[in-house]
Amino acid sequence: MTDDTVSPIETEIRRLISVAGPMPVGKFMSLCLSHPQHGYYVTQDPFGAAGDFTTAPEISQIFGELIGLWSLSVWRMMGAPENVRLVELGPGRGTLMKDALRALRVAPDFRTAISLHLVEVSPVLEKIQRDTLESQDVPVMWHPSFAEVPDGPMIVIANEFIDALPVYQAVKQPDGWHERVVGLDSAGHFAFGVSPDRIPHFDRILPSQLRDAAPGSIYEWRPDAIAYDIARRVRHQGAALIIDYGHSQSGVGDTLQAIGRHQFANPLQAPGRVDVTAHVDFQAFGRAAESMNASVQGPITQGEFLRRVGIDVRAQALKSSASVQQAADIESAVVRLTQTGPTGMGELFKVMAIADPKLGKLPAFDE
Ligand code: SAH
């Protein structure tokens, strides 16, 4: 970050800490990202080569195309309802939907049934999404929150959305779990601390296999509200596809991270100017969705998901009409999206479906 002036959100967080004392990590994250005037998502376009990060739909058009075709299969399994809401949570630049709708030209009946509902907190990104999607021949609506999307048959897509929702942290102390907080150190810099009080009834949140965690361990959790909301909306005539980096099983560990200009940064530095996220705990997410009587399928790895929905066939088709350079670019994008290990997205990223139990196993989750 070249800009070392104090950001407005930093001033606001300092003020809040001086009035009320150190704040929970989740509160800090929420202010940094979504403060209505100064939050990171509200003020910046984090995408593109000059931006802070790149996501799967920005790496290859194939990603959005395959998700569009997955949605088509799901719509048919739903009995091809005449009206279906295709909902995207956190659509970024609108690239995934643009590619999905292009691929869906093969299915005019589905395209006619679709109304597109985009849930976006950022006015900067909403403007970019409008430029990308308004010329499409499907009705498009924007909503500041998922709660405002009208009920009805729906297919929900969320790629790298849940990781941006606030995460709370607890630290195991000799006498139990205490909340991890952000305060100010003696030099006036933001610093992590531990609340002096034990979190009451923490056993209701903590998975039983983690009760004996070693002192100093960190456990992260997100409010279950988003998993409940998704499950409640899709359990009658609907399905959701959740794609994100995270772990299949709940565990201990600090995954809070910040990215600025494609580099890892300190999450406490430059609040509002860097993207702050944390891994998704798919086990906790799935448990919450299941408690609302939705069918939970997966998670499977992104690499496995993409292979099962046909990434290799689609890449081959694109390569057959591409130049040598373009074919090499297609190949390296496929590798990046599917590769295991620390540099690929194929294993770290997981895919989970939440659905109406009457639909049975959804495409890619049926093997
Ligand atoms: N899905 C896109 C973008 C991922 S970045 C892609 O894959 O490229 C996260 C997206 O979620 C951004 O569009 C961001 O503005 C949006 N977002 C973050 N928090 C949000 C919230 N609380 N409500 C609605 N949108 C949010």
Instruction: Give me the count of residues in the chain.
Output: 367
pLDDT at residue 48 in the model: 55
Decide: 1 and 261 in contact? Cβ < 8 Å: yes
How far is Cα 139 from Cα 118, in angstroms, rounded to an integer? 11
User: Is the residue at 12 inside a domain?
Assistant: no
pLDDT at 186 over 60: yes
Could you tell me the distance, in angstroms and rounded to a whole number, from the CA of residue 120 to the centre of ligand 1?
6
State the pLDDT at residue 67. 98
In a domain, 269, yes or no: yes
The closest alpha carbon to 165, from 85, 248, 227, belongs to 227
**Residues above pLDDT 90, as percent of the chain:** 84
β-strand partners of 182: 23, 192
In a domain, 198, yes or no: no
Atom of ligand 1 nearest to the CA of 122: 15
Q: Per the domain annotation, does 115 fall within a domain?
A: yes
Model confidence at 2: pLDDT above 50: no
261 pLDDT band, cuts 50/70/90, is confident
335 vs 338: CA distance, rounded Å: 5
What's 347's domain CATH number?
Answer: 3.40.50.150
Residue 111 included in any domain? yes
Average predicted confidence (pLDDT) for the chain: 94
- Distance of CA 160 from the midpoint of ligand 1 (Å): 7
How many domains are contained in the chain? Answer: 1
**Quick check: 33 pLDDT over 70?**
yes
Q: Compute the average pLDDT of residues 177-192.
A: 96
Any ligand 1 atom below 6 A from CB of 94: no
CA of 142 from ligand 1 middle (Å) equals: 13
For residue 205, being part of any structural domain is answered with: no
And the tokens for 24? 């929970």
Q: How far, in Å, is the centroid of ligand 1 from the Cα of 41?
A: 8
pLDDT in tens, 50-109: 566 789 999 999 999 999 999 999 999 999 999 999 999 999 999 999 999 999 999 999
Q: Give φ, ψ of 245 to 5 degrees.
A: -85, 145
Dihedral sign of CA atoms 331, 334, 338, 343 in order: positive
Q: Whose CA is nearest to atom 21 of ligand 1?
A: 121
CB of 122 within 6 A of ligand 1: the answer is yes
Nearest atom within ligand 1 for CA of residue 93: 8
For residue 163 and ligand 1, the question of a CB distance below 6 A is answered with no
Structural domain contains residue 214: no
Q: Is 125 in the pocket of ligand 1 (CB under 6 A)?
A: yes
279, HSE (Cβ side, Cα atoms, 13 Å): 20
Pocket test for ligand 1, best of 122, 126, 226, 349 (most atoms within 8 A of CB): 122
State the DSSP H helix or E strand holding residue 168, giving kind and residue range, or none if neither.
strand 168-173
At 130-177, the pLDDT tens digits run: 999 988 899 999 999 999 999 999 999 999 999 999 999 999 999 999
Which protein residue has the closest C-alpha to ligand 1 atom 14? 90
Which residue matches tokens 């200009």?
261
Q: Is 346 in the pocket of ligand 1 (CB under 6 A)?
A: no
Q: Is 48 domain-assigned? A: yes
pLDDT at site 3: 55
What range defines the domain where residue 261 resides? 43-166+222-355
Residue 213: C-alpha distances to residues 111, 218, 254, 256, 304 (Å): 51, 9, 14, 19, 32
Containing H/E element for 305? Answer: helix 302-308
pTM: 0.96
Least confident piece of the model among 37-51, 226-240, 264-278, 282-296: 37-51
> Which atom of ligand 1 is found nearest the CA of 58?
8
Whether the per-residue pLDDT at 276 is higher than 50: the answer is: yes
Instruction: Please tell me the distance between residue 158's alpha carbon and the centre of ligand 1 in angstroms.
Output: 9
3 state DSSP class of 173: strand
Q: How far is the CA of 73 from the centre of ligand 1 (A)?
A: 25
The answer to whether 241 and 158 have CB atoms below 8 angstroms apart is yes
Residues 198-225: tens digit of each pLDDT:
999 998 889 999 999 999 999 999 999 9
Residue nearest to atom 19 of ligand 1 (CA): 164
Q: How far is the CA of 280 from the centre of ligand 1 (A)?
A: 14
